[in-house]
């Protein structure tokens, strides 16, 4: 998991994809690797997929992670969450403090269009 965490952090520029602040401090308190398709909705079926993971500041109750969890309808519109039926790799996500829509790839990069499986 450490390699996957590093891959996601590098892809996201070491910053929260929602607000853009640099990630620092303790994981799970100051920042999180967020499952776009929540684990309770099938997010663990492909737990090692970089397309299902985002870097967010805060934890489940604080920062951007808390905002995403508390405002699920807005998070779905922005791609920070995806429904249990959606493929995270085929669902665009807003990154860079709202500056860019991208697709997250299985190899841990951003793409301007969905990558065929």
- Concatenating the DSSP letter of every residue in 10-31 gives HHTTTB-TTT-PBP-S-BTTTE
What is the pTM for the complete model shown? 0.88
Percent of the chain with pLDDT strictly greater than 90:
76
Q: Cβ of 67: how many Cβ atoms within 10 Å?
A: 17
pLDDT tens, position by position, 14-37? 999 999 999 999 999 999 999 999
Residues 90-115, mean pLDDT to the nearest whole number: 92
Q: Are 28 and 59 in contact (CB under 8 A)?
A: yes
The tokens for 44 are 């663990």
Mean pLDDT of 39-62: 77
For position 47, what pLDDT does the model report? 54
Confidence of residue 42 (pLDDT cuts 50, 70, 90): very low
Domain hosting 55: range is 2-111
Please, what is the end-to-end C-alpha distance for the chain in angstroms? 22
Region 41-67: mean pLDDT is 81
| Residues 53 and 35: beta-carbon distance below 8 Å | yes
On whether residue 13 sits in a domain, the answer given is yes
Would you say residue 71 lies in a domain?
yes
Report how many domains make up the chain.
1
Q: What is the mean pLDDT of residues 97-108?
A: 92
Domain annotation covers residue 116: no
Q: How many CB atoms lie within 10 A of CB 87?
A: 14
Please check whether residue 117 lies inside any domain of the structure.
no
């Amino acid at each position: 998991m450490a390699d996957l965490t590093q891959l996601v952090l590098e892809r996201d520029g070491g910053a929260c994809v929602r607000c853009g602040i640099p990630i620092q401090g303790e994981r799970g308190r100051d920042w999180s690797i967020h499952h776009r398709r929540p684990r309770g909705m099938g997010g663990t079926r492909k737990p090692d997929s970089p397309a299902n993971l985002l870097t967010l500041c805060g934890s489940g109750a604080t920062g951007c992670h808390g905002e995403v969890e508390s405002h699920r309808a807005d998070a779905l519109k922005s791609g920070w969450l995806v429904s249990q039926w959606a493929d995270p790799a085929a669902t665009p996500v807003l990154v860079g403090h709202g500056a860019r829509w991208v697709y997250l790839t299985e190899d841990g990069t951003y793409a301007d269009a969905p990558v065929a499986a």
